[in-house]
Amino acid sequence: MKLKHKDLLCIHDLSTEEVLLILDVAKKLKKMQKLGVPHEFCKGKTLAMMFSKASTRTRVSFETGFHQLGGHAIYLNDRDSQIGRGEPIRDTARVLSRMVDGIMIRTFSHDSVIELAEYASIPVINGLTDLLHPCQALTDLLTIEEQLGSLKGRKLVYVGDGNNMAHSLMYACAKVGMDMVCASPKGYQPDPMVLKQAQEDAAQTGCTISVEEDIAKAVKGADVLYTDVWTSMGQEAEREIRLKALHDYQINSELLKAANPGAIVLHCLPAHRGEEITEEVLEGPQSFVWDQAENRLHTQKAIMVLLMSGAEL
């Protein structure tokens, strides 16, 4: 039971069958964990976790998850590793490949992750870059399936900055046949190349991926409303400009009422209450952000099992 590629860098690289396999394994591992059934499929293995960006959910979910799989995780940040002192990524990749069994990296440049994977002979998992956040988007598919019972034919509306989260959601929705609209103002819309690739994937699964400036038009028929912070790490200097530009792109009770009855609300966290989402909606009965956060653990365990273990579930 393996994925076609040795790495998980981008959902666009995966087939629909591989995406569904990750979700299936995640559900099985979640059930085993809830029942207290041992599932040490990575026993004796070591994961290097490389961080250039601060993290709560990524570090805790990967470190806890790999421990539950029977392995040992090592935390490396730029202050503690030679990469922070100028060692080339390709050198780090080759050295780590001789000492550990897998690498998870959370950093700024997506090109750095591509180079790491190119020179590493062991699996590399993209924990987040400025371009993509694939592990989170796969987690989101699991959460939607749990709450709505199906993925194909559903509609997800992403509201706000067309960032790395929007990009990975476009790829993810396209792979499973979910319609997606990214509601963003001009100047904050997704990368055109990502949109083009996602639309090509969507043509194969019979869904649509689009960008819409008119939020009222975008939200019609939505089964899922999704948002992320307006100012990501590294963009702090743009905060005031972004608050003004994205002011009208907020998930609030009025917007939620315009979606389908029973629509769910998701947010990858951390949330800035009163900016991209209101307190009322975030803490309301249609919000499943805490289930979503927990599912990072189960989905990332599935990815690690599929890339680093030969186990059959």
Q: Is the pLDDT of residue 193 over 90?
A: yes
Q: Is the pLDDT of residue 5 over 80?
A: yes
Asked whether residue 145 falls in the same domain as residue 241, the answer is yes
Q: Which residues are annotated as catalytic? A: 106, 133, 136, 228, 268, 296
Asked whether residue 141 falls in the same domain as residue 275, the answer is yes
> What CATH number is given to the structural domain containing 178?
3.40.50.1370
Q: Is residue 139 part of a domain?
A: yes
Task: Write down the H helix ranges in the chain.
Answer: 16-35, 57-68, 89-97, 110-119, 134-148, 164-176, 192-205, 215-218, 239-245, 253-258, 279-282, 289-308
Instruction: Look at residue 137 in the predicted model and tell me its pLDDT.
Output: 98
Asked whether residue 178 falls in the same domain as residue 153, the answer is yes
| pLDDT, average across residues 69-85 | 86
Instruction: Look at residue 80 in the predicted model and tell me its pLDDT.
Output: 75
Asked whether residue 257 falls in the same domain as residue 302, the answer is no
Q: Is residue 2 part of a domain?
A: no
Among 77-91, 136-150, 167-181, 235-249, the minimum mean pLDDT is found in 77-91
234 band by pLDDT with thresholds 50, 70 and 90: confident
Separation between Cα atoms, residue 74 and residue 267, nearest integer Å: 28
| pLDDT tens column, 140-168 | 999 999 999 999 999 999 999 999 999 99
Preceding omega of 123 cis (within 30 degrees of 0): no
Asked whether residue 120 falls in the same domain as residue 175, the answer is no
User: β-strands 124-128, 264-267: how paired?
Assistant: unpaired
Regarding predicted confidence, which is higher, 237 or 178? 178
Asked whether residue 197 falls in the same domain as residue 253, the answer is yes
The token duo for 184 is: 């963003």
| pLDDT, average across residues 14-33 | 98
Asked whether residue 100 falls in the same domain as residue 214, the answer is no
Domain membership of residue 73 as a residue range:
11-133+296-307
Answer yes or no: are the C-beta atoms of 281 and 266 closer than 8 Å. Answer: no
Asked whether residue 81 falls in the same domain as residue 46, the answer is yes
Q: In Å, how far are 70, 73, 164, 172, 239 from 132, measured between CA atoms?
A: 28, 23, 4, 11, 21
The packing angle between helices 16-35 and 164-176, to 10°, is 100
Q: Is residue 21 part of a domain?
A: yes
| pLDDT, average across residues 84-106 | 93
Q: Is residue 29 part of a domain?
A: yes
**Which has the closest alpha carbon to 112: 127, 97, 134?**
127
Q: Is residue 105 part of a domain?
A: yes
Asked whether residue 197 falls in the same domain as residue 122, the answer is no
Q: Is residue 4 part of a domain?
A: no
Number of domains in the chain: 2
Asked whether residue 180 falls in the same domain as residue 230, the answer is yes
Answer yes or no: are the C-beta atoms of 145 and 172 closer than 8 Å. Answer: no
Asked whether residue 256 falls in the same domain as residue 170, the answer is yes
What share of the chain has pLDDT > 70, as a percent? Answer: 99
Instruction: Look at residue 86 in the predicted model and tell me its pLDDT.
Output: 80
Asked whether residue 95 falls in the same domain as residue 190, the answer is no
